[in-house]
Structure 1
Amino acid sequence: MAECAVEFVLEKLKTFLEEVKVNLMKDVKQEVEYVRDELERMTAFLRVADAAEDSDPELKLWVKQVRDVAYETEDVIDEFMLHLHRTNRCCPNFLHKFIFSIRNLKIRYEIASEIQSIKSRMTDISVGHRRYSRKFSHGSDLVVVGDGGGVDRRGDALILEEGELVGIESSKKQLVTWIVEGESRLKVVAVVGMGGLGKTTLVKKVFDDDLVKKHFQNHAWITVSQSFKVEELLKDTIRQLFDQMKLPIPQAISTMSNNKLKTIIKDFLRHKRFVLIFDDVWSIQAWEAIKYALPNEDQGSRVIVTTRFMDVASSCSIETDGYVYQLNPLSEEESWILFCQKAFQGSSCPKHLTDTCENVLKKCGGLPLAIVAISGVMSTKMDSNVDDWNMFNYGLGSELEGNDQLESMRNILLLSFNYLPYYLKPCFMYLSNYPEDHLIGHNTLVRQWVAEGFVKQNEGRTVEEVAQGYLNELVNRSLLHPVKINDDGSVKISRIHDLYREIILSKSRDQNFVTTTAESNMVWPQRVRRLSIHGALENSEVERYGARLCSLLSFGVGDLQSTSSIMQLLKSSRMMKVLDLTGLPLEKFPEVILELLHLRYLCLRNTWIKRLPGSIKKLQKLEMLDLKGTYITKLPNGILKLQHLRQLLVYHHVLSSYMPYDYVHGFKALKGIGCLKSLQKLCFIEAYPGSHVLEEIAKMTELKRLSITKLRAKDCVVLCSAIENLSKLCSLGLRAVEKDVLDLQYLSSPPPFLQRLYLGGQLANFPRWIQSIRSLVKVYLRWSRLSDDPLQYLQDLPNLVHIEFLDAYIGEKLCFKAGKFQKLKLLDLDRLESLKWVIIEEGATPLLEKLIIQQCNLLESIPVGIERITNLKVVEFFDMPDEFISPLRGDEYLKVAHIPEVNHTYWRNGCWEVYPLEETVANEKSGKIRAPIVTTREQRNWL
């Protein structure tokens, strides 16, 4: 973390010295350069020190001092830049600037004084750096990245007794089958999952299984550390193999080269059937060092790898056409059984403790290691009263820090944090902003990381693309758990495990990284850098905490008193870069925001604001403006002054049981909006006569997502020309004025990387150019009223995953031809009023997972061939007539019996009533009547 803070301030210092050198006094410039040089000298050592600080209190203090001085340097730079900006803004000519600079010499001397103070502190810190550098160079006990405080706790995963294991049998059975059956050539089985899930425990039970022992001639278990050395790994393997056979270990292996060691292993294993376990593999490089020592023969040999990383698991298994077993958390039932076994020695939980235990168990998130450790602590509190148990529940975060019985579990989880690359640590700790169980939108998180300055642009990639790579790394490392997946396979929404959240909350408090108001009677740190408000902000003296505030996020703040406190806080927050006021009861744009001249990210989503002031132009550094869900329909010309703006989201949806034609309202196009050449996302802009918006859009060549509404037939020639100019476009939404025609035949060269296409309005003809876009993943056709079967034009798109037709086709039959739609997973047929038959020929849509049919009132039966689609998981019939549903309860039921979830759903009394078909059939046979599952309109999106 300290390294990241230093790297960030070094970037700022570089820019600072280049841009403002004429405004600096000579001695101040030299002192700034001294601070820069000292910080540069420390960066290499900080990477090690950051991970080792937990094991060395003195080192921890030194790292804190470096981090603090980096933050203070950043603050001074920002203060000076703010001063310069105000000088330039207030002074129209050189004379005025000169006079203004004289009047503000006091401010300049104050800044110079702060720089001198920082230099003085930097001198003392440098002495500590030299001392620790010498200590490190002479082979001290400092741990390297990922050593988890210098104590290896992974062996603790093997201490569970057989009677304590829950939910392991099915996983064990699957793994045993994979390794003793199947092809005779060498195969690798990778078991992947987050730390504490029980990967080692599971594989150890497989390794010790009698069938496995008898099946293989040679067995070896090798634990791989994060900081592994290839030669030590190979030597360990040799020792185990030779010891097992009671053979003397080859002489001089301590001096052998890696290649010689690999040759010994390969010769030893040749013509033998072996099973090797490589436990806790942390990198692809570690596997690369291992695999060349293994003979690839037809002996039925197997290798099992455990890892926390999905890319490692895939890399290990793919070359041998092996298997990846993703270990999941225990179910609620399994978790409860394991918890009671440990906490109550197998007895049932006392009724007066049930609620508290359920809350504690929820935080364990199905993690066996956590359940065993925490229930073990709670078992010592059997004689305590309910209040003591509740205190343990609410103070679990501090218990993780201070309870020796939980140290082992904490260190195992902490390994994943300590082993993070330096650039991922602040990104992961940033998640401590979010409340418990919060669903984290990846687009939002990417924007916040970028605005905070956590992301460096790589050559050939935008900062947003780099940030998305960071997110993928956290998911791959099992630190973020996907909740909702995009059609292209990327993660849209995820959640952080409660215990990892507790760890980063603790780290954030310790390093003053994020301050949250969720805690009652919270103690504010002396300097607040990032503030996350959960529910309310009651402190009446918050103003004094805003001077160094660079980020403020709000969650669930709905009362006027808290809103007023936030506005007071913003008055002193001159350094603010990220401001998210989602859901606040604001009717007017807060004028105080206009003084936040460093602001890069502004989110006013789901507020009641109706108008944006022209003075928004003062926010010259603004990159992201999110006005989704507000009542703003017109933007001021001042927006055009925001030349760094990269994302502009201005729209709100119309709530209805079924999607109306005007389901989304955007904003009227601005004359001259084409000057915003940095824009990547523009949603939803309304075309209107005389705006020349389409000509303007053609100038915005950085656009990746674009949505335009209220198009007219006469706009289509210019529209097509503009789209051809947007070669980076990935998502395109076009909607015509109701009862007008969207004629897209003039588009001959569509954006080559287009993935998502949303067309709304009557189409003159199906746009044939769609057939040429090989990257298309999602196609929505709404109110298109096509007479030709649109499937014939979509069937050969190699990456098409999601199709939605809403009043898009007026024909009687849709036919999915044999062998077509090989990637299709989601199909939604909505209000196709003339449709009578859907036919799925053999070999078509083999990967289809979800099918929705709604208000297709003339459809005579379920799709022909649906019984052949074995991958189907969910089928939903919304507001379909009883003549269609009735056969499903009888003769047609067998055709859908293989599908895990089949529902027929109706909109009644302002909500959806869901009837699971399997239960309906069972209830009719038994004569029972069961009430439907009732869901809201919003919940339907998750069905």
Structure 2
Amino acid sequence: MTDFAVTFVLDKITILLEEKVNLVKNVRQEFEYIRDELERMIAFLRVADAAEDDDPELKVWVKQVRDVAYDTEDIIDDFMLQFHHKSDGFLRKFILSIRNLRTHYKIASEIQNIKSRIIEIAEGHRRYSYRFNVPGEASTSRCVSNRGMDRRGDALLLEETELVGIEDPKKQIIRWLVEEESRLKVVSVVGMGGLGKTTLVKKVYDDFVVKKHFQNHAWITVSQSFEVEELLKDTIQQLFEQMKQTPPENLSTMNRNRLKAIIKDFLRQRRYVLVFDDVWSILAWEAIRYALPNENNGSRVILTTRVMDVALSCSQETDGYVYELNPLSEEESWILFCQKTFRGNPCPTHLIEICKSILKRCGGLPLAIVAISGVLSTKREINVDEWKKLNCSLGSELEGNDQLESMKIILSLSFNYLPYYLKPCFLYLSNYPEDHEIEHNTLVRQWIAEGFVKQKVGRSVEEVAQGYLNELVNRSLLSPVTTNDDGSIKTSCIHDFYREIILSISRDQNFITSNNEQNMIWLRRARRLSVHGSFRYTDVKHYGARLCSFLTFHVEDPQSILSILQLLNSCTMLKVLDLRGVPLEKFPGAVLELFNLRYLSLRSTMIKRLPRSIKKLEKLEILDLKETYINELPIEILKLQYLRQLIVYRHIPGSYLHYDYVHGFKVFKGMGSLKFLQKLGFIDASPGSVALEEIAMMSELRRVSITNLRTQDGVALCLCIEKLQKICSLGLRAIEGDVLDLNHLSSPPLSLQRLYLTGRLANFPKWIQSLPNLVKVYFRWSQLRDDPLEYLQDMPNLVHIEFLASYVGEKLCFKAGKFQKLKLLGLDKLETLCQVIIEEGAMPHLEKLIIQRCNSLEGVPVGIENLSELKVLEFFDMPDEFIGLISPAKHGEDYWKIAHIPEVHHTYWRNGCWEVYPLEEEQAIEKSEQPRAAIVRTQEQRNWL
């Protein structure tokens, strides 16, 4: 992490030095010295950062470097802040015209102090360079690897009777190993640390069937810090010793090519199975793959890894297999927990509730369950209060409990081995409360505003940030919760124990400080603050000057709001401010003094007006006003020339999505000058608006939604769309009763992926067929007379379709072989629809089908029994007679058609929420009854809309 802090401040120094000015007292030379010295430290830091946990003295040295980097950043930011107060011009203009020498001398003095500290730290650097034999990076990083390996080796000694949930994955992997396929294949076992990958593969490796099937066996532990020669030597020694042969002489002096040749010659004409445990990179596989002969005799390689990209790459190359190991189920977790905690005896009744709570935090992670069970099983007295204290203080227990130390070390390896640019991104997740679903769009915006993401040639900064997210998912550090229609991840969560680990690291490195309802640990040098729930600390204002990020979650009480507003007065360096959900009625005046602010979210507040002085936030890139009461923006918004996303709209609540379901804001002349805007919505194009002309000038737009369009806007609307060649998501809504005229569009943007059309269509817009990247399309209140399926059925990437009051025909027929990628289909309020036909081979990958308010429908879709991948079938507010046709309790004649579908629900809107009745538990569903099996959920939980 420290290497990133240094890199970050180096970028700032570079920008500062590029200004061609003469700074008094040789400040320029001092900055150059600091830059050069920090640059020399970075390579060593990337080694020392991973080894500091094992060496207290080294840890102090790393901390000193980190602190001086932070202090240098503060000085530069303060310098820029003074510049902002003094002039509206560039930095050069400020330096040449400055009158306040007192401030300038102060900065010069601070820089000289930094230089003195750098000299002292550099001396320590030289001492450690000799001690650790730099540049011998492997020796330093190996101390971390070995420390973790000592504990991971325990997994190889477990008896199979001690394990839970291992039988099915073991059988599957053995089947892959001994199948008749003769080519060499790689079987990858992938999953987060602590899931038991090594344990599972060891039981497979030791199985009698496997031992008998293969002539040669070897188990090679790789780890992050592997050296190719050592890896090859270890393989040779195991293979020769297994055959009771003496390894070749002079093995220690051979180069890697000679070592590979020995392995290849030895294994030729033999059926072998080799295990490579703990593979962190494709490079490790590349180091060994050419030493493995493929004699078409059924040889196999097994590797374990925490990184999905490694698993896929290694296995796909040989047309092999990937087994993704998942957390234990609740039932399996409970069995393992009781087995370890109570020596196989039942859990005492009075402990069940607290044990379930503790177990929930383990998240199905066998390593965590076993470790915590070990702690609990040693307690002589079973005291509920004591166990509750343990549950509440797991973070501190990880720090001080020897029995949990091994688990922490194993899980920490995933952080230690992250690339330097991913470490701050991962630590940033410690901002979020426990069990919080993290919105990827929000997280990406915050990373970018913090400066964690660097733009690459040919890729936008958002695309680079999305790549960072994908890396964290691939490394099993983030678990997907919900996905978008194109398969990308919408929200994810972090395992409780990984969260505890990064919380500890964040506190230790002054990266983030946070509070919850129980406590607050304020770190004087903290760079980021996250408030969960109440916040009543009024004597920490002078600490706010160091903050660059301030996030709030579930803050509602007046005293906490007052404390937050008071603290904001001192947060002069803030870049990220997220006050979503805080019940503010007025725009906080303190925010207007945050001249470094890049990201501002006031989402779901009660603010009604944006002040004209918003123009002071010239560096603002993200302004999120979603679900506020703001519907007009001041013209001063044009001063925010760096805006990339402007989100201003509010949904209108209701049981069903109604026509005017969202209110946007009005655009004024000149808004097209915001050239960097990528996301804009919702735009009110009411009569007299200049919205279409202004939007047409925003060439960087990726996402825009326009409401209140009129029939006569057709030509201008189509001309506007044609100019948005980078657009990915487009929403259009006509005034109710008007026609959404899209017939003048001759050159649609081929980048379009999502299209939302609301309003009457005179005919189907045939240009939609020419969109090769279209993933999702919604037709709402379209009242089409021609069959829309005829135009959509051959689109190559269409995944999601929704029809809402959009078709007035009596029949929809999904023809054989069509809609090859469709996964979600929604049919709503098609009041004349009598029959839906699904021919065999149509929609072969459909996973979810929702039918609602189609009161004329005579029965379930004909051919629905052929949809083998259909997982969810849901009916909303359908007539009782229709539900009777599929009811097993009433021996419905259509039940057999849907019996293969895992989840079938019928749902009704009652008392302000949706009541969901699983079909298999259906009882009497009279409107006045409240069955016990009903699942209640709100409109917001309907994720298919």
Normalised by the shorter chain, which TM-score bucket? over 0.9
For residues 685-709 of structure 1, give each alpha carbon's deviation from its aligned partner in whole angstroms, at most 9, with x where no partner exists: 1113333221211111111111111
Equivalent position amino acid for 2:16 in 1:
F
- Provide, for residues 141-191 of structure 1, a one-character-per-residue CA deviation record: whole Å limited to 9, x for no partner: 952289357442321222333222111111112222222225232222211
Deviation at 1:107, TM superposition (A): 1.9
Give the counterpart of 1:396 among 386, 394, 397: 394
Q: Match of 1:466, SS?
A: helix
For residue 897 of structure 2, what is the aligned residue in structure 1? 895
Mapped to 1, the partners of 2:142 and 2:866 lie a distance apart of 52
Task: Tell whether 2:146 aligns with 1:144.
Answer: no
Report the secondary structure of 2:244's partner residue. Answer: coil
Query: Per the alignment, do residues 118 and 98 of structure 1 end up closer, same or farther by CA in structure 2, a change over 3 Å counting?
Result: closer
Contact 1:9–1:70 (CA under 8 A) maintained in structure 2 = yes
- How far apart in 1 are the matches of 2:358 and 2:196? 19
Is 2:923–2:931's contact at 8 Å kept on the other side of the alignment? no
Give the CA deviation at 1:624: 0.3
Q: Please tell me whether the aligned partners of residues 148 and 412 of structure 1 are also in contact (alpha carbons under 8 angstroms).
A: no
Which of 501, 504, 515 is 1:503 aligned to? 501
Establish whether residue 298 from structure 1 lines up as the match of residue 300 from structure 2: no
1:262 and 2:260 matched: yes
Indicate conservation of the 8 Å contact 2:454/2:461, yes or no.
yes
Report if aligned partners of 1:648, 1:681 keep a CA contact under 8 Å in 2: yes
Going from structure 1 to structure 2, the CA distance change for 1:346 and 1:634 (only over 3 Å counts) comes to: same
Amino acid aligned to 1:546: G
Output the CA distance in 2 between the equivalents of 1:454 and 1:934.
41
Once the 2 structures are TM-superposed, how far is the Cα of residue 561 of structure 1 from its aligned partner? 0.8
Corresponding residue for residue 3 of structure 2: 3
Cα gap change, 1:485 to 1:182, in 2 (>3 Å): farther
The answer to whether the 8 Å contact 2:148/2:413 transfers is: no
| Partner amino acid, structure 2, of 1:14 | T
DSSP 3-state at the match of 1:764: coil
8 A contact 1:339–1:372 mirrored in 2: yes
| CA distances 1:889-922 after superposition (whole Å, capped 9, x unpaired) | 2221111111110111111222212111122289
Q: Is the 8 A contact 2:156 2:199 kept in 1?
A: yes
After TM superposition, give the deviation of residue 265 of structure 1 in Å.
2.6
Alpha carbons 1:736, 1:760 under 8 Å: kept: yes
- Structure 2 CA distance for aligned equivalents of residues 99 and 168 of structure 1: 72
> 2: CA distance between counterparts of 1:182 and 1:805?
49
Deviations 1:636-666 (A, max 9, x none): 0011110000000001111111100011111
- Residue equivalent to 1:761: 759
What's the secondary structure of 2:943's corresponding residue?
helix
- Residue type of the alignment partner of 1:107: T
Within 5 A, what are the aligned runs for 1:660-679?
A: 660-679=658-677
Which residue identity lines up with residue 127 of structure 1 in the other structure?
E
Unmatched runs of 5 consecutive residues or more in structure 1: none
1:855-888 deviation line (CA, Å, top 9, x unaligned): 1111111111111111111000111112221111
Cα distance in 1 for residues equivalent to 2:732 and 2:303: 49
State the distance in 1 between where 2:325 and 2:842 align. Answer: 31
User: Could you tell me how far apart the structure 2 residues matched to 1:147 and 1:730 are?
Assistant: 45
Aligned twin of 2:916: 914
**How far is 1:613 from its partner?**
0.6
What is the identity, as a one-letter code, of the residue corresponding to 1:474? L
How many Å separate the matches in 1 of 2:759 and 2:923?
40
d(CA) in 2 for partners of 1:335, 1:714: 63
Superposed displacement of residue 134, structure 1: 2.7
1:55 aligned partner: 54
Same amino acid, percent of matched pairs: 70
For structure 1, which segment, 539-548 or 672-681, has the greater mean C-alpha deviation from structure 2 after superposition? 539-548
After superposition, residues 76-91 of structure 1 pair within 5 angstroms as 76-89=75-88
Pairing 1:344-423 to 2, within 5 Å after superposition: 344-383=342-381, 385-423=383-421
Most deviating of 695-704 and 381-390:
381-390
The reply to whether residue 166 of structure 1 matches residue 164 of structure 2 is: yes
Task: Give 1:643-682 correspondences, 5 Å limit.
Answer: 643-682=641-680
Shift of 1:595: 0.4
Residue 771 and residue 511 in structure 1: after superposition, are their counterparts in 2 closer, same or farther (change >3 A)?
Answer: same
Paired residue secondary structure (2:939): coil
Change (3 A) 1:301 1:537: same
Q: Structure 1's 662 and 816: CA in aligned 2 closer, same or farther, altered over 3 A?
A: same
Tell me the CA shift for residue 19 of structure 1: 3.2
Name structure 2 gaps, 5 residues minimum: none
CA distance in 1, matches of 2:124, 2:495: 37
Alignment of 1:847-866 (within 5 A): 847-866=845-864
Q: Distance in 2 between matches of 1:780 and 1:355?
A: 45
Offset, 1:100: 8.3
1:101 aligns with 2:103: no
1:297/1:854 Cα in 2 relative to 1: closer, same or farther (>3 Å)? farther
Runs of 4+ in 1 over 6 A off after TM superposition: 97-100, 921-924
Counterpart-to-counterpart distance in 1, 2:542 and 2:836? 66
Q: How far apart in 1 are the matches of 2:893 and 2:137?
A: 76
**2:145–2:223 Cα contact (<8 Å) kept:** no
Q: Tell me the secondary structure at the aligned position of residue 803 of structure 2.
A: strand
Structure 2 Cα separation of the partners of residues 942 and 366 of structure 1: 28
TM-score by length of 2: 0.96
Task: Measure, in 1, the Cα distance between the counterparts of 2:770 and 2:639.
Answer: 38
State the one-letter code of the partner of 2:363. G
Q: How does 1:547-586 map to 2 (within 5 A)?
A: 547-586=545-584
Contact 2:132 2:140 in 1 (8 A): no
Give 2:333's aligned residue. Answer: 335
| Counterpart for residue 752 of structure 1 | 750
Match of 2:427 among 429, 432, 448: 429
Residues 1:728 and 1:494: Cα distance change in structure 2 (over 3 Å) = same
User: Structure 1, residues 243-298: CA drift from partner, whole Å, max 9, x if none?
Assistant: 22223323343343433333333333333322221111111111222222223333
Structure 1 pair 828/146, CA: closer, same or farther in 2 (3 Å)?
farther
> Counterparts of 1:825 and 1:294 in 2: how far apart (Å)?
41
Task: Name the CA distance, whole Å, in 1 between partners of 2:869 and 2:594.
Answer: 53
Q: What is the CA–CA distance in structure 2 between the aligned matches of 1:779 and 1:51, rounded to whole Å? A: 48
Distance 2:270 2:95 in 1: 86
Residue correspondence of structure 1 range 216-231 to structure 2 within 5 A: 216-231=214-229
Give yes or no for contact 2:517–2:534 (8 Å, CA) kept in 1.
no
**Alignment map for 1:319-334 (pairs within 5 Å):** 319-334=317-332
Distance verdict in 2 for CA 1:747–1:221, change over 3 Å: same
2:112 is aligned to 116
CA distance in 2 between partners of 1:141 and 1:666 (Å) = 57
Go from structure 1 to structure 2 and tell me whether the alpha carbon gap of 1:453 and 1:249 turns closer, same or farther (over 3 Å shift).
same
Going from structure 1 to structure 2, the CA distance change for 1:182 and 1:607 (only over 3 Å counts) comes to farther
CA distance in 2, matches of 1:38, 1:840: 70
Question: Given the superposition, is the C-alpha separation of residues 923 and 610 from structure 1 closer, same or farther in structure 2, using an over 3 Å criterion?
Answer: closer
Q: Summarize the Cα distance change of 1:146–1:689 in structure 2 as closer, same or farther, 3 Å threshold.
A: farther
Q: In angstroms, what is the RMSD of aligned CA positions?
A: 2.2
Write out per-residue CA displacement over residues 283-326 of structure 1, whole angstroms, 9 at most, x where no aligned residue.
11112222222233332222221111111111121122222111
Q: 2:47 touches 2:137 (CA, 8 Å); kept in 1?
A: no
Q: Distance in 2 between matches of 1:591 and 1:440?
A: 29
2:74 corresponds to which residue?
75
- In 2, the alpha carbon distance for the partners of 1:254 and 1:60 equals 34
Say if 1:53 and 1:321 are closer, same or farther in 2 by CA, change over 3 A.
same
> What displacement does 1:450 show?
0.5
Indicate conservation of the 8 Å contact 1:51/1:145, yes or no: no
Query: How many Å separate the matches in 2 of 1:837 and 1:313?
Result: 46
Structure 2 counterpart SS, 1:179: helix
Q: Relative to structure 1, is the Cα distance of residues 151 and 185 closer, same or farther in structure 2, using a 3 angstrom cutoff?
A: closer
Equivalent residues of 2:918, 2:933 under 8 A apart: no
Specify the SS of the correspondent of 1:342. helix
Q: Is the 8 A contact 2:810 2:833 kept in 1?
A: yes
Cα distance between partner residues in 2 of 1:353 and 1:149: 38
Inter-partner Cα distance in structure 1 for 2:687 and 2:245? 89
* Structure-2 residue corresponding to 1:624: 622
Deviation at 1:751, TM superposition (A): 1.5
| Alignment-derived partner of residue 251 in structure 2 | 253
| 3-state SS, counterpart of residue 98 of structure 2 | helix
Aligned to 2:838: 840
Alpha-carbon separation, structure 1, partners of 2:146 and 2:270:
40
In structure 1, what residue type is equivalent to 2:199?
T
